[in-house]
Amino acid sequence: MPPPPHRPPPLVGAVFRGSSAVRDGLLTRHQLHSSAWQRLFPDVYACADLPVTHELRTAAVTQLLLPGSVATARSAAVLWDVGPAGATDDVEVIVPARSRAGAVAGVRVTRRTVAAEDTTARRGVRLTTPLRTALDLGRIHPLDDAVIALDRFLSTGLVFLDEVRSAALGATGRDCRRIRAAVHLADGLAGSPQETRLRLLLHRAGLPRPVAQYRIRVGGRFVARPDFAWPEHRLALEYDGAWHGEPGQFRRDRQRLNRLTAAGWRVLFVTAGDLRDPAGLVARITKALAPAPTFA
């Protein structure tokens, strides 16, 4: 039978070491298993009233589970309010190269030396700077996921693409080639992960390179900014995501489409289903880019 909840005031709303609470006489080992507490990691508990977010778990790792560790990659991005890690995704941290920290479920540990100028603090958590975070996002496997994470991070303006590319060129050691490859493919312009996937697909298909987020103007007046465009063909490509079903969005989309067609543009829409059939999608775009037949 589980023990009745017992909440000492010092632990209400707190994250703590179970062994420390027992040593200090705040709880017994039996009471740690009551509904008042939730276990985050071995010997690390949180008040049950706290929502378990990725940020909370990252703070628990860097402050209690592996003191001295530094949040990096997706975990650092969450602390920079960018995402993309979810509440249950592994916490990613760097520990000193000689650290004896063992493997822990739910934590991805990288052992390497991180320069002091590459770290900072935010909301009480040690983490990598925006530039170092961007470079570490480039280590993600597979490569497309690294580019997606980089695009999302770069879109915030926390760090600029030219800075990251310059730093990537000087990167050495493990994963330096992967970092450079991911940074080379990123552009920071995508409005969603699927837009990045679409852009990478277009580049690899050998199609003429479209212009991302191209501003279409007629007579100096703004008409629209499609996800991708081939201006010389007056062809726009739009990723049609779930957000297009939001209230009022259908009407706005149709008004925008009418403006584009009135300006002499054609529009192709791409869905998640199209991305699962890349050959069919590429064939459709290739046909749309083909010159119109002429008749004598």
Please report the domains of the chain, with CATH numbers, ordered by start residue.
9-47 (no CATH), 53-128 (no CATH), 135-188 (no CATH), 193-289 (3.40.960.10)
Q: Collapse the DSSP code of 104 into the 3-class scheme (helix H, G, I; strand E, B; otherwise coil) and give the result.
A: coil
Residues of the chain with pLDDT under 50: 242-244
pLDDT of residue 117: 96
53 Cβ contact list (under 8 Å, min separation 6):
87
3-state helix, strand, coil split of the chain in percent (to 5) is 40, 20, 40
CB 40 within 8 A of CB 34: no
Reading the block at residue 130, the tokens are: 């925006």
Beta-ladder partners of 38? 46
pLDDT of residue 296: 63
pLDDT of residue 184: 97
Nearest of 47, 46, 73, 49 to residue 60 by alpha carbon: 46
Beta-ladder partners of 222? 217
- CB burial of 88-109 (b: ≥16 within 10 Å; e: otherwise) equals eebbbbbbeeeeebeebeebeb
pLDDT of residue 82: 94
Entry pTM: 0.88
**DSSP alpha helix (H) spans, 72-192:** 73-79, 130-137, 143-154, 161-169, 176-185
74 Cβ contact list (under 8 Å, min separation 6):
83, 84, 85, 89, 92, 137, 140, 149
Nearest of 134, 224, 245 to residue 179 by alpha carbon: 134
Beta-ladder partners of 39? 45
